[in-house]
């Protein structure tokens, strides 16, 4: 039984902020659903959004059952143990060195796992079947996210080696980005990819989604100090500064390339900036954060321009926006971390070259594991069930085929089916006046 006696180390201010931060991060997943839904064709709107909601369902359950334990139980340097499986021992007593209840820590970390699973779906939208995606989401959240979170946050070998990752450059950003690349390769390109222009159907969804993601990201980065202390305040502020700089540079790149600033480009820039500052948020000064935001635009922009010229249909550019920007942020820490701002470590510029080595280690290991494990996992699932819809189904659209619904149903020509299963012959439309 959990102890109800108040724990001296619990700080009410920290707890209050972390409750709010957790809710902010949870909002990011439906926001991502909106962002992704706007980027696909209208016939796949609901399926795309549903993959994000599926993450809220399946990843949460998997997290409570074993995912949290695999990530945050002591275990060994590679993988956590099962002592916290089924949330055993997760109650009001804070973890060692923490000032918030263990239960709240678990919920905050769960919200990270959920959004990461949802991110990966961007690689396989418009053709992956929903059933196999549910299976994938459950297994991936434990076998890939859980393991990477253990490495970076749960006392695993990267953390032990001294790699700095404030809010998830390893498990969330590189984890999702390089898994997305593997998923795109295993599932294969959409049938019309490279033959027809496959355009976003609602740019306003994309912009609103990006705005809500940025809003939620203040909880994501600002909460990753697990307190209301300086590192949280620094990360929170850097989450404002860095994406703003990314936006400005993105505008400039758009202007140079086509003489016009694009809206969907701007939405993408917000994501890239937030991702770039994610690992570095609490470790670098606001000035360096602004440079990071500006610099992070360049490699991601390049990948977004070049990727569609390849045969790889990594549909919504999760690799560019998350994998590459996350890698940029992780490496950036190695140069610009500043003890006087973070109280933890200096980077190369402040006299500690070894930090760069520790960051480079993460920049190699995390992408390699994410890519390899995801590739293998999807191949195995693919042996048990077909991963993708048929060409005919793809043509009809995943909304109708997978969910029996349309995002923009008009009701014209819809014939009501009465509860006994018989079509009502006298009522020709769904809503007779």
Q: Which residues of this chain interact with other proteins, rule CB under 8 A?
A: 192, 196, 392, 395-396, 400, 404-406, 409-417, 423, 430
Q: Where are the alpha helices (DSSP H) in 337-398?
A: 339-342, 353-384, 391-396, 398
CB-nearer residue toward other proteins: 89 or 194: 194
CB of 415 to other proteins, least distance (A): 4
CB of 204 to other proteins, least distance (A): 20
CB of 331 to other proteins, least distance (A): 42
CB neighbours of 71 closer than 8 A, spacing ≥ 6?
Answer: 80, 109, 113, 145, 146, 147, 149, 150, 153, 154
Look-up: residue for tokens 């990314």?
246
CB of 37 to other proteins, least distance (A): 18
CB of 192 to other proteins, least distance (A): 8
CB neighbours of 383 closer than 8 A, spacing ≥ 6?
Answer: none
CB-nearer residue toward other proteins: 199 or 385: 199
What's the CA gap between 184 and 181, in Å, rounded? 5
Task: Collapse the DSSP code of 52 into the 3-class scheme (helix H, G, I; strand E, B; otherwise coil) and give the result.
Answer: helix
- Residue 298: CB atoms within 10 Å: 16
CB-nearer residue toward other proteins: 351 or 413: 413
CB of 416 to other proteins, least distance (A): 6
What is the Cα gyration radius of the chain? Answer: 22
CB-nearer residue toward other proteins: 199 or 252: 199
Q: Are 398 and 37 in contact (CB under 8 A)?
A: no
Look-up: residue for tokens 């619990």?
10
Phi, psi of 424, deg, nearest 5:
-80, 105
CB-nearer residue toward other proteins: 264 or 400: 400
- Residue 13: CB atoms within 10 Å: 11
Which tokens is 426 given? 């006298």
CB-nearer residue toward other proteins: 97 or 404: 404
């Amino acid at each position: 039984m959990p102890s109800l006696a108040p724990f001296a180390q619990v700080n009410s201010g920290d707890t209050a902020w972390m409750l709010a931060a957790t809710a902010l991060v949870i909002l990011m997943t439906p926001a991502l659903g909106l962002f992704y839904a706007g980027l696909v064709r209208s016939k796949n709107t609901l399926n795309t959004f549903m993959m994000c909601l599926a993450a809220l369902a399946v990843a949460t359950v998997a997290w409570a059952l074993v995912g949290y334990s695999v990530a945050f139980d002591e275990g060994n340097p590679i993988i956590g143990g099962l002592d916290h499986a089924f949330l055993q021992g997760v109650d009001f007593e804070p973890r060692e060195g923490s000032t918030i209840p263990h239960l709240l820590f678990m919920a905050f970390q769960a919200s990270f796992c959920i959004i990461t699973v949802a991110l990966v779906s961007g690689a396989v939208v418009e053709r992956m079947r929903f059933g196999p995606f549910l299976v994938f989401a459950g297994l991936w959240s434990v076998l890939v996210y859980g393991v990477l979170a253990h490495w970076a946050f749960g006392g695993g070998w990267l953390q032990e080696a001294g790699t700095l990752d404030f809010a998830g450059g390893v498990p969330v950003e590189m984890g999702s980005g390089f898994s997305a690349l593997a998923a795109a390769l295993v599932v294969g390109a959409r049938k019309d990819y490279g033959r027809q222009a496959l355009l976003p159907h609602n740019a306003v969804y994309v912009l609103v989604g990006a705005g809500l993601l940025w809003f939620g990201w203040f909880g994501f980065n600002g909460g990753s100090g697990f307190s209301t202390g300086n590192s949280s305040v620094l990360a929170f502020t850097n989450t404002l500064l860095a994406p703003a700089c990314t936006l400005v540079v993105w505008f400039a790149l758009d202007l140079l390339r086509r003489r016009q600033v694009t809206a969907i480009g701007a939405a993408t820039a917000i994501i890239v900036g937030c991702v770039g500052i994610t690992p570095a948020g609490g470790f670098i000064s606001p000035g360096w954060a602004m440079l990071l935001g500006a610099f992070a635009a360049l490699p991601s922009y390049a990948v977004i321009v070049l990727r569609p010229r390849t045969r790889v249909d990594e549909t919504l550019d999760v690799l560019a926006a998350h994998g590459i920007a996350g890698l940029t942020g992780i490496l950036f820490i190695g140069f610009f971390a500043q003890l006087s701002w973070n109280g933890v470590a200096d980077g190369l510029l402040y006299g500690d070259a070894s930090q760069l080595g520790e960051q480079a280690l993460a920049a190699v290991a995390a992408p390699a594991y994410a890519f390899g494990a995801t590739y293998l996992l999807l191949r195995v699932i693919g042996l048990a069930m077909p991963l993708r819809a048929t060409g005919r189904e793809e043509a009809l659209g995943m909304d109708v085929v997978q969910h029996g619904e349309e995002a923009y149903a008009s009701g014209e020509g819809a014939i009501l089916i009465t509860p006994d299963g018989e079509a009502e012959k006298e009522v020709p439309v769904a809503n007779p006046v």
